[in-house]
Amino acid sequence: MKRKQANLRDGSEWIDHEDCIVGDEEGIRNLMRACEEALAKGEFFSSELGDYVGVKKLPSDWFKQPKDSNKTILANQILGCVLLMIAALIFFGAYTVIKWFV
């Protein structure tokens, strides 16, 4: 007998369930197993979690002060430098065009 696929989704797709994780019995049982594994090992990944790929256990203080990763901070600094260089080029270009007519 062919086993049906478990369903587990974010309820935001339906107004009646927008604040819930929704699923059929098999999907919710898979979520329970994933949560138990995450509590024991710190994380659990599976293809049987519907819209989700895994469950991770994080320390409580992680939720109090969200932190950007070092890569995010570096990417923002690089983006800021690039934007400043573009702004400088626009400024000098506009200055040059104004000098042509003055």
**Residue-wise pLDDT tens digits, 2-30:** 556 788 888 888 888 888 989 889 989 99
Amino acid (one-letter) located at 10 = D
CA angle 7, 52, 50 (to 5 degrees): 15
Q: Span 79-99, mean pLDDT? A: 96
Q: Span 42-70, mean pLDDT? A: 82
Inform me whether the pLDDT recorded for 38 exceeds 70: yes
Q: Are residues 57 and 88 in the same domain?
A: no
Q: Are residues 58 and 74 in the same domain?
A: no
Q: Are residues 17 and 33 in the same domain?
A: yes
Rg (CA), the chain: 25
Q: State the total domains in the chain.
A: 2
Q: Give the Cα separation of 3 and 5 in Å (integer).
A: 7
pTM of the predicted model, to two decimals?
0.56
Q: Are residues 90 and 55 in the same domain?
A: no
Structural domain containing residue 72 = 68-102
> What tokens were used for 87?
């702004």
CA angle 80, 85, 88 (to 5 degrees): 125
